[in-house]
């Protein structure tokens, strides 16, 4: 029997679609299989109340790799990146807000020293980020049995850091890389409001707080991914990105099947040879690529018993417990945020008034509770894109931290209290907020796991921490996209370089497969 397809991709998340597009462009016959009715995974737009649409998980586009946009001609496939660029505004209850732009800050509280320091700080961090950035679109090197190619790669990485940075900056890089963001910010700034807002960037989407070592890495990583992009709210919501990707992929000849839940990866003689659907139907292909997270891929689709024990153990030990919730609110009109002009509301609004605030918020999650006063990243995308809400009405989209996956007592009984808490916190900054809300949708990590198929509801399919990054992502032995199961590859956020709507994992996986990196 000859296979109709060269490759099957399990999951039409944005990474699965990027991978499909590159493989199809390279001449392979590709079939993408998505469990949901809709493509896009955690990068979709959906209606949560009649007439109100929102980016269901990811809402700010700040890392999509321009190389991918260009090579896949996403703009001709309908990607509209013309939304207004957005800045970060850190809210203050007294209206004394702080505006953080890429290279400068504005805000009543901030001293001139901090303003100068900020510009210098960001430039310094961006230089470090530039040393990391080349790694994002490369297959990580292999730790054991490094062949010649790996030695070259290692040398290249060393070169980027040593010569890209120069001696003095490399020393700085090596000094700060293991630090926590809390202490680093103390070295540079006076204003606590500024430190709080910057610290949020280091911990957003993670299970970390600013005093944890490794938070400088996450901060730099975020910068590295976004070096060549301007943060924006994509027109039509995040789903527009994946719709364009799907269009690109199909234009190159890939096929996409939705409502196609893959139940198992079919193995023969220890090799992956196809997939089996819930109903028992089989599709075969010599290459199987999984956009699902590593735990789902290895422990559910392949099954721990079909792996070797050491790998199964490492995969089950991956840290995949999500701590961010997503709240969507339908608003009958715009709320009045103290000290904020209406046209400022289209920006990225954050609630992270101090690092202590973040630490307190985190502490609850350590003990299986949600934060008494959670930190947030808020957008009101309907301002720039009125198509998302009925005329005159608006949607608010908020990432709320920390909301632990394994909440003591379970989410069912406590979700309403949690929503109340969030509304209370926002109301402290926008006193009329409560009256504007007509519908609320709250996605806890448990909901995200169930609805989007991400283990633990984790943004990145697994914590993006230094021990689970680069050649350790998701774990050694499977960090080069190919897995120890012949014919099975990873292409999702669980692989290097991790999540965010970046497309890098899908791109790299496709390159590795095309290169026949066997």
Partner 1 sequence: MRAQYDKEHFRKHSLPTPFYPRMAELSQDSSWHCWKGYLSADYFENVELEYFAIRNACSVMDLSPMSKYRIRGQDAEAFFDRMVTRDMSKLKPGRVGYSVWCNDQGKVVDDGTIFRFGEHDYRLCAYERQYEWLMISSAGFDVDITDETEGVAALSVQGPTSFAVLSKMGLSGIETLKPFGIVHFPYHGGKLMVSRTGFTGDLGYELWVGGSKALTLWDELFEAGKHYGIRAIGTHALDIARIEAGFIQAGDDFTPANHTIRKDHDRSPFELGLGWLVHLDKPNFTGRRALIREKEKGSRYRLVKLDIDGNKPAHASYIFHGRKKVAGVVTSAVWSPTCKQNIAFASLEVAIDDPLNDLWAEIYYQRELQWNRVWQRCRVHDEPFWSPPRRRATPPGLF
Ligand X SMILES: Cc1cc2nc3c(=O)[nH]c(=O)nc-3n(C[C@H](O)[C@H](O)[C@H](O)COP(=O)(O)OP(=O)(O)OC[C@H]3O[C@@H](n4cnc5c(N)ncnc54)[C@H](O)[C@@H]3O)c2cc1C
Q: Are 389 and 51 in contact (CB under 8 A)?
A: yes
| Strand 30-33 with 255-257, pairing | parallel
From 110, 224, 448, 510, residue interacting with ligand X (rule: CB under 6 A): 448
The region of 249-257, 301-309, 352-360, 459-467 touching partner 1 under the rule CB under 8 A is 301-309
Tell me which stretch binds ligand X (CB under 6 A): 22-30, 53-61, 305-313, 429-437.
53-61
Strands (DSSP E) contained in 2-160 are 7-10, 30-33, 45-49, 52-55, 88-90, 98-100, 105-107
Q: How far is the CB of 340 from ligand X (least distance, A)?
A: 21
Q: Hey, which residues between 448 and 507 contact partner 1 (CB under 8 A)?
A: 477, 484
Q: Does 81 bind ligand X (CB under 6 A)?
A: no
CB 18 within 8 A of CB 40: no
Residue 459, contacted partner among ligand X, partner 1, none, CB below 5-8 A by kind: ligand X
Rule CB under 6 A: say whether 214 interacts with ligand X. Answer: no
Q: Which of ligand X, partner 1, none is residue 309 near (CB under 5 to 8 Å by kind)?
A: partner 1
Listed as own residue / partner, the contacts of 261-266 with beta carbons closer than 8 Å and 24 or more positions apart are 261/35, 262/10, 262/33, 262/35, 262/292, 262/301, 263/301, 264/301, 264/302, 264/303, 265/10, 265/290, 265/297, 265/301, 265/302, 265/485, 265/488
When CB distances are held under 5 to 8 angstroms depending on the partner's kind, the choice from ligand X, partner 1, none that residue 12 binds is: ligand X
Residue of 306, 332, 354, 427 interacting with partner 1 (CB under 8 A): 306
> Of the listed pieces 108-116, 304-312, 450-458, 478-486, which binds ligand X according to CB under 6 A?
450-458
- CA-to-CA distance for 477 and 498, rounded, in angstroms? 17
Tokens 């890389």 found at: 177
Q: Which two tokens stand for residue 99?
A: 């505006």
Angstrom distance (rounded) from CA 343 to CA 311:
52
Least spacing, CB of residue 36 vs partner 1, in Å: 26
Instruction: Output 246 or 493, the one with its CB closest to ligand X.
Output: 493
305 binds partner 1 (CB under 8 A): yes
SS (H, E, C) 459-496: CCCCCCCHHHCHHHCCCCCCCECECCCCCEEECCCCCC
Which of the residues 225 through 284 are near partner 1 (CB under 8 A)? 267-270
Binders of ligand X among residues 253 to 282 (CB under 6 A) are 261-262
Rounded distance between C-alpha atoms, residue 446 and residue 458, angstroms: 9
Among the residue ranges 3-11, 86-94, 297-305, 385-393, the one whose residues contact partner 1 (CB under 8 A): 297-305
Residues that bind ligand X (CB under 6 A): 10-16, 33-36, 41-43, 57-60, 63, 205, 261-262, 291-292, 296, 301, 324, 326, 399, 448, 452-454, 459-460, 492-493, 499-501, 505
């Amino acid at each position: 029997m000859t296979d109709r397809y060269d490759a099957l991709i399990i999951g039409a998340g944005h990474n699965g679609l990027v991978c499909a597009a590159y493989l199809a462009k390279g001449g392979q016959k590709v079939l993408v299989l998505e469990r949901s009715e809709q493509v896009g995974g955690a990068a979709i737009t959906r209606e949560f109340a009649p007439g109100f649409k929102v980016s269901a998980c990811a809402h700010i586009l700040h890392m999509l790799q321009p190389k991918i946009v260009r090579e896949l001609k996403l703009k001709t496939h309908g990607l509209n990146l013309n939304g207004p660029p957005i800045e970060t505004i850190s809210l203050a209850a007294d209206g004394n807000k702080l505006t953080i732009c890429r290279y400068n800050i504005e805000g009543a509280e901030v001293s001139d020293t901090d303003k100068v320091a900020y510009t210098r700080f960001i430039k310094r961090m961006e230089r470090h980020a530039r040393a990391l950035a080349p790694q994002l679109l490369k297959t990580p090197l292999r730790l054991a049995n490094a062949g010649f190619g790996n030695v070259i790669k290692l040398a290249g990485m060393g070169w980027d850091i040593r010569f890209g940075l120069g001696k003095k900056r490399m020393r700085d890089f090596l000094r700060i890389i293991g630090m926590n963001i809390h202490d680093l910010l103390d070295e540079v700034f006076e204003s606590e409001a500024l430190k709080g807002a910057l610290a949020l960037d280091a911990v957003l989407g993670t299970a970390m707080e600013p005093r944890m070592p490794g938070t400088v890495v996450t901060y730099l990583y975020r910068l590295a991914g976004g070096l060549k992009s301007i943060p924006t709210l994509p027109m039509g919501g995040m789903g527009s990105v994946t719709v364009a990707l799907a269009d690109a992929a199909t234009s190159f000849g890939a096929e996409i099947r939705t409502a196609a839940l893959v139940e198992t990866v079919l193995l023969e003689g220890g090799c992956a040879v196809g997939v089996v659907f819930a109903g028992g139907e089989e599709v075969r292909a010599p290459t199987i690529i999984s956009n699902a997270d590593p735990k789902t891929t290895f422990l559910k689709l392949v099954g721990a018993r079909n792996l070797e024990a050491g790998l199964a153990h490492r995969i089950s030990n991956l840290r995949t417990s999500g701590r961010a919730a997503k709240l969507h609110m339908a608003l009958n009109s715009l709320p009045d945020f103290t000290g904020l002009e209406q046209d400022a509301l289209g920006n990225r609004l954050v609630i992270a008034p101090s690092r202590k605030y973040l630490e307190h918020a985190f502490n609850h999650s350590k003990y299986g509770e949600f934060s008494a006063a959670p930190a947030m990243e808020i957008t009101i995308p309907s301002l720039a894109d009125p198509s998302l809400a009925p005329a005159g009405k608006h949607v608010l989209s908020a990432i709320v931290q920390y909301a632990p996956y394994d909440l003591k007592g379970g989410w069912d009984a406590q979700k309403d209290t949690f929503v109340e808490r969030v509304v209370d916190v926002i109301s402290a900054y926008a006193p009329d907020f409560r009256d504007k809300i007509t519908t609320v949708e709250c996605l806890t990590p448990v909901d995200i796991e169930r609805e989007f198929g991400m283990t633990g509801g984790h943004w990145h399919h697994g914590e993006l921490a230094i021990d689970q990054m680069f050649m350790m992502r998701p774990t050694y032995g499977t960090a080069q996209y190919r897995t120890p199961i012949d014919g099975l590859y990873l292409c999702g956020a669980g692989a290097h370089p991790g999540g965010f709507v970046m497309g890098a994992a899908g791109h790299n996986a496709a390159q590795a497969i095309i290169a026949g990196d066997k």
